[in-house]
A and B are shown apart, each in its own frame.
Chain A
Amino acid sequence: MIKKITIFSLLMMLILCVPVYAGAPMTTVESTVNKVLDVLRDPKLKDPSAKKAKAEKLRVIYKEMFDEIEFSKRTLQRNWTKFTPDQRKEFVGLFEQVLEKAYLDKILEYSNEKIVFHKETMAADDKAEIQSKIVTSSKEIPIYYRMILKDGKWKVYDVVVENVSLVQNYRTQFSDILASGTPEKLLESLRKKVNTQ
C-alpha cells in the first residue's frame, strides 16, 4: 500500500512539474520569428506575385504564436461581459483581421534589418516578457513580447512597441467607443475597418 502511495506521489510530482518546464518562452518567440524571417527571405517567394502565398505561409506561423482570445479579452476587460457569446466570437475574429491587415504589409516590407533578442523576464510561472529590438540603419526599435503559458504552450498576449503596449492602446480606443455606444456599435466600426483596409 505504502509502496503504491510512494509511486503515486512520485508520479504526481513529476506531472506537477511539467507545466513549469514547458519550454522557455524566449526560444518559442525566437524560433517563431526565425520561421517568419525564413519565409520572408525565401528566394522562391521573392517575386511580387508570390505575395499571397507568402502571406498565407505567415498566417500559419503567427496563428501559432498569438493567443487571440486572450488578446481580445485583455483589450475589452470587463466590457467582455457586455458581449453575447456570438458577439464575442465575432469580435475576436474581426479584431484579428484588423491586426493582421494592419501589420502584415509592415512585415512584408522587411528588408534584412537585424532582429536581436536580448532579455527574458519571468514574472510568474506562466508569465514572461521577452525583449527584442529591430536594428535599422537610422535607429533601434524596441519590441517586447508578453507571453502567457497555456496548455503547455507559450503564447503572446501583448506586444509592446517602443514602450507602447498594443493591448492598452486598443483598450483605450475600445472603451472610448463603448463608453457611449453598445457592443454592436464597436463591432460595426470593426467591420467597417476590415472592409476599408
Chain B
Amino acid sequence: MRHCISLIILFLMISAGVTPIHSQAAGTQQALEKYSSVQQAAPANAGSLPVQSSEKTGVTENDPYADEQNLDYDDDPFAEARVTIADPIEPLNRISYLVNDRLYYWAIKPAASVYKWIIPEPARISVKRFYLNAKFPIRFINCLLQADLSGAGIEFGRFTINTIWGIGGLLDPAAGGEIKLAEQDTDFGQTLGMYGVGHGFYIMWPVLGPSSPRDSVDIAGEYFLDPLSYIGPWYTGIGIRPFKIINNASLVIGEYESLQAAALDPYVAIRDAYAQYRAKAIKARKARSLIFKDDGAGDSPDSPSTVKE
C-alpha cells in the first residue's frame, strides 16, 4: 500500500514536470509548429524544464555575458519567419533616401509645421479622413480581389455612412459608437503578395518612399482609382496631392526624427521596418481571406525575397 502511494506520488511528480509541455502544446496556436520542432530537436531543453531552468539561472547569475549554445533563438515561439528584402540597387536607393531626407527637413516639415500651427488638429484629422474616404474604391476592389467579402462589405458600409452622415468623409461616424466598422488596410501590393508574388527587391522612390516592384503597382492603381485623379483638369491633382502630403505630415511630425534618433543606420532601419510591416500586413489579410489562407508552411508570403537566417 505504502509503495503504491509513493508510486502515485512519483507519477504525479513526473507528470508535474511534463504537463506544462502538454498544455502548452495544446494551448498554443500559430507558434505550435515551430515550437514542437524545437522540442523534438532538443528534448532535454523542454522535458526536464524545472531542473533545466534552475541550472540555467545558475549560469546566468554567474555570468550573463557568457557564451551560449542557442544563439539563433529559433526556440522563440513569437519569432516569425525572418523577413528580409533583397537590395541590389542599394547605392541608388541610398541616394533617393538622402533626397527624401532633405525634402522632409527642408520642405515638408517646415510647411507642415506652419500648417499645424494655423489649423487645429480636429480639422487636420478631418482632411486626412476626407482623402482616406476618397480612396474607398482601392480598398473595396482589393478586398474583393483578396476574397475578403466581409471586408468588402465593411468598406462599402463605411463609405456609405461616412459619405452621407460624415459630410463627404470629413467625419468618421462609421468607426465610432455602435457601428464600429474599422477601415480595411488593403492595397494592390498586398493582393499580389497574397497571390504569391514576391517583393522582388527594395526600391526607395524619391518622394514616395519605400517600395518594391510589386508594391509599386499601387502608384498606378492609386492614380486610376483615386477619385482625386478625376477632379477637374489634370493639374488640379498636382495641386491637391502636395496638400495631402503636408496635411498628413502635420499629424506625424517627429516620428521620422525619433526613428532617426533610435537607428544606427536609418536607411537599413527603414528598409527592415518596411519588409516586416508588409509581410505582417499580408499575413493579417490572409487570415481574413476566404480562399488565400496561410498554408502554415511558416514561410512568409513574400517567399522569393524572404530568407530564414
Which residues does A use to contact B, with CB under 8 Å? Answer: 2, 5-6, 9-10, 12-13, 15-17, 19-20, 69, 73-74, 76-78, 80-81, 85, 88-89, 92, 98-99, 101-103, 105-106, 109, 122-127, 129, 137-138, 146, 150-151, 158, 162-165, 168-170, 172-174, 176-177, 189-190, 193, 197
Most chain A C-beta atoms within 10 Å of own C-beta, residue among B65, B72, B265, B280: B65
Contacts of B254 in A (CB 8 A): 109
Known contacts A6-B5, A122-B24, A124-B77; A176 and B258 CB within 8 A of each other = no
Known contacts A77-B72, A164-B276, A169-B273; A123 and B78 CB within 8 A of each other = yes
Main secondary structure of the interface of B (DSSP, over half): helix
Contact assessment for B57 and A85 in the assembled complex, using a CB-CB cutoff below 8 Å: no
> In the assembled complex, how far is the CB of residue B72 from the closest CB belonging to chain A, in whole angstroms?
6
Which partner residue on chain B sits nearest A3 by CB separation? B2
Contact assessment for A101 and B272 in the assembled complex, using a CB-CB cutoff below 8 Å: no
Contact assessment for B125 and A173 in the assembled complex, using a CB-CB cutoff below 8 Å: no
Contact assessment for A129 and B78 in the assembled complex, using a CB-CB cutoff below 8 Å: yes
7 residue pairs from A and B, CB less than 8 Å apart: A9-B6, A10-B9, A17-B16, A80-B68, A158-B78, A164-B272, A174-B264
Say yes or no for B262: interface residue by CB 8 A criterion: yes
Q: How far is the CA of A127 from the CA of B259 in the complex (A)?
A: 28
Q: Can you list, as one digit per residue, whether each of B6-25 has a CB less than 8 Å from chain A (1) or not (0)?
A: 10011011001100100010
Say yes or no for B238: interface residue by CB 8 A criterion: no
Contacts of B64 in A (CB 8 A): 69
> In the assembled complex, how far is the CB of residue B202 from the closest CB belonging to chain A, in whole angstroms?
12
> In the assembled complex, how far is the CB of residue B245 from the closest CB belonging to chain A, in whole angstroms?
16
Say yes or no for B76: interface residue by CB 8 A criterion: yes
Contact assessment for A189 and B273 in the assembled complex, using a CB-CB cutoff below 8 Å: no
Say yes or no for B236: interface residue by CB 8 A criterion: no
Contacts of A165 in B (CB 8 A): 276
Contact assessment for B57 and A169 in the assembled complex, using a CB-CB cutoff below 8 Å: no
Contact assessment for B128 and A138 in the assembled complex, using a CB-CB cutoff below 8 Å: yes
Contacts of B272 in A (CB 8 A): 164, 168-169, 172-173
Contact of A173 among B3, B63, B263 (CB under 8 A): B263
Contact assessment for B273 and A13 in the assembled complex, using a CB-CB cutoff below 8 Å: no
Contact assessment for A69 and B10 in the assembled complex, using a CB-CB cutoff below 8 Å: no
> In the assembled complex, how far is the CB of residue B11 from the closest CB belonging to chain A, in whole angstroms?
10
The residues in B between 130 and 183 inclusive whose CB is less than 8 angstroms from any CB of A are: none
